[in-house]
Structure 1
Amino acid sequence: MAPRANWIGFLRLSLVTCPVALFPATSDAEKVSFNQVNRKTGHRIKYLKVDADTGEEVEAEDIMKGYKVDKDAYIEVETEELESIALESTRTIEIDEFVPKSDIDQRYAIRPYYLVPDGKVGHDAYAVIRETVRQMDMVAIGRLVLTSREHIIALEPLKNGLMGTLLRYPYEVRSEDEYFDGIQDVKVTTEMLDLAQHIVESKASDFDPGKFEDRYETALVDLINQKKSGAIIKPHGKAREGSNVVDLMTALKQSLQGGDAGKATPKAKRAPKKAAGQREMLLPI
């Protein structure tokens, strides 16, 4: 079944407009997930919404939103009041400006989307906008409304399409100063840097996500398949081996002489061609 668009509207650069659809570029749907089950009955656990003081269940129509201002004190907000301030979606991503991609701090990126032409018309205008962004070698910045909130989106060419990345607002990004201020100013010697650089060079490679395997996900699939086949699982804890404490210079030298960095990096096993998940590896019941 084709994925469902999260948003449908128009992409506009000045007077050039085309209909587009926005699809999430990532998914966790294929990951193994668990439900909570009653050990005695095998039935799934169901949660009820109850009053924190009385313990009585509360009907959906009696539940409203509240902003906490003090202990057990809330400013109550009605749904109608929220709807009155909700931004009306113009159903248009208006490109406001173009910026160098290097100017966008990675901390501002939230999640990626694919922006594609919606329907058979508008492909020419879409191509004009895409190639303009590509030729400028910059990122187009626009805004769109999702779930009543306005979001900033950065658009850049990806093959024959456009990838959009939702960006955070400045108030959502914490300053690094409160975390980094306590880091000691250590002088690193040239010899240490040279040794460390040799280690880095021995491990240098091109980024290929196909080389990486979600080992925990694979272990989960194996565990579930074993239990499906009736195998008895014996829990066992693997103690992590401790290492001798050595000084930094000795550790760097040992890494080059006989450590992992001195050895050829083994070729990582490629993940299955379908990168969506490993649910297809589960055995039928």
Structure 2
Amino acid sequence: MHTMWKGSISFGLVNIPIKLHAATENKDIKLRQLHEKCKSPIEYKKRCPVCEEEVKNEEIVKAYEYAKNKFVVLDDEDLKNLKKEQEDKAVEILDFVKLEEIDPIYFDRSYFISPNSGGNKAYGLLREALEDTGKIGIAKIIIRSKEQLAILRVYKNTLLMETIHYPDEVRDVGEVPNVPEQTDLSNKEMKTAVALIDELTAEFEPEKYTDEYRTALLELIEAKRNNEEVTTAKEKKRPDNVTDLMEALEKSLDESKNKKKVAPKKAAPKKKTTKKSSSKKKSS
């Protein structure tokens, strides 16, 4: 399993060297966009609308838009120093709470935790202590340059870290439109609804739930492939060295001709008048 983060967990005087591994994976089927005419993949280029030119990666800077079209530019050195200051800190458990006290709306991503070298005993100690107390740990961690709030809990004999949202990242439920304050319901309606819930109540078995759309889409793709309903994108024509050389020569020739056309003509030198010729004019 790929290691995506290395560090340590500390609670009190106990320090546990750990590794993080993604606990989930996105199995969405990604579809490419092709040009209908030639079935070639569409390119997405970074372009400046003001300069009307394509922008290279080395010409791009990061900035925060604090108002409409007003930016504070942050250079790589600023962000690098800030990231280094935060990454030097260990994952410190701040509090221990009960899992049921946290609403699922706060949950974000899950990561399996494995002990790094020399951390087996401390890892086992934290795992057993959490199981015995029925508590989970609240901690902070820096992942991908962002400080995350997280919980640590036991999942099938393995420590699990789940990043959770900060309170200000959860939107105010009062802003949801058209939510009725109170509804008038009869006893019969309530009893029927409760009876239906009781009828459909079961133990949670995640294995019985499948992504039917993804399965059907994969079957459709496989059927089309077996029936040879496929297309091959045309490769972009690239000029060879000979063509490049000819283009360069023709361009140089054109530029040379244009320079000659634009160049100003030199004025003809004036004829010098000799003393002999001037004396003849006087005698005549």
Specify the TM-score bucket, using the shorter chain as the normaliser.
0.7 to 0.9
Match status 1:66 vs 2:60: no
Q: Please give the alpha-carbon distance, in whole angstroms, between the structure 2 residues aligned to 1:210 and 1:151.
A: 30
Deviation, 1:26, is: 0.7
- In structure 2, the partner of 1:100 is 98
| 1:235-255 Cα distance to aligned partner (Å, 9 max, x none) | xxxxxxxxxxxxxxxxxxxxx
Change (3 A) 1:84 1:10: closer
Are 1:201 and 2:198 counterparts?
Answer: yes
1:91 Cα offset (Å): 5.4
- Does the Cα contact within 8 Å between 1:36 and 1:44 map onto a contact in 2? yes
CA shift for structure 1 position 16: 1.8
For structure 2, the residue ranges without an aligned partner over 5 or more in a row are 230-284
- Looking at structure 1, the residues matched to 186 and 198 of structure 2 have their Cα atoms a distance apart, in angstroms, of 18
List runs of 5+ in structure 1 lacking aligned partners.
233-285
Tell me how large the CA RMSD over aligned residues is: 2.1
Q: Which runs of 4+ in 1 moved over 6 A?
A: none
8 Å Cα contact 1:95-1:142 kept in structure 2: yes
Distance 1:60 1:145 in 2: 26
Letter paired with 1:193? M
Instruction: Tell me what 2:157 maps to.
Output: 160
**1:111 to 1:82, Cα distance in 2 relative to 1, 3 A:** same
| Paired residue secondary structure (1:164) | strand
Match of 1:37 in 2: 34
TM-score by length of 2: 0.74
- Corresponding residue for residue 89 of structure 1: 87
Matches of 1:15 and 1:210 in 2, distance apart? 41
**Whole-Å separation in 1 of the counterparts to 2:179 and 2:60:** 45
* TM-superposition CA deviations, 1:194-238 (whole Å, max 9, x none): 111121122111111111121110111111012102277xxxxxx
State the partner residue of 1:190. Answer: 187
Q: Which has the larger radius of gyration?
A: 2
- Cross-structure match for 1:5: 3
Which residue identity lines up with residue 12 of structure 2 in the other structure?
S
1:123 aligns with 2:120: yes
| Mapped contact 1:153–1:165 kept (Cα < 8 A) | yes
Query: How many equivalent residue pairs?
Result: 229
Amino acid at match of 1:105: D
Whole-angstrom distance in 2 between the partners of 1:217 and 1:96: 41
What are the superposed Cα offsets for residues 138-166 of structure 1, whole Å, 9 maximum, x if unpaired?
A: 11111111122221110111122111110
AA aligned to 1:62 is E
* In structure 2, distance between residues paired with 1:135 and 1:206: 24
Whole-angstrom CA distance in 1 between matches of 2:19 and 2:207: 28
Paired residue type of 1:89 = E
- The TM-score, its normalising length taken from structure 1, stands at 0.74
1:224–1:183: structure 2 CA closer, same or farther, 3 Å change rule?
same
Letter in 2 for 1:228: R
The alpha-carbon distance between structure 1 residues 70 and 92, as it changes in their structure 2 partners (threshold 3 A), is closer
**1:62 Cα deviation from its structure 2 partner:** 1.0
Query: What are the residue-to-residue correspondences of 1:105-254 with 2, within 5 Å?
Result: 105-119=103-117, 121-179=118-176, 182-230=179-227
State the one-letter code of the partner of 1:34: L
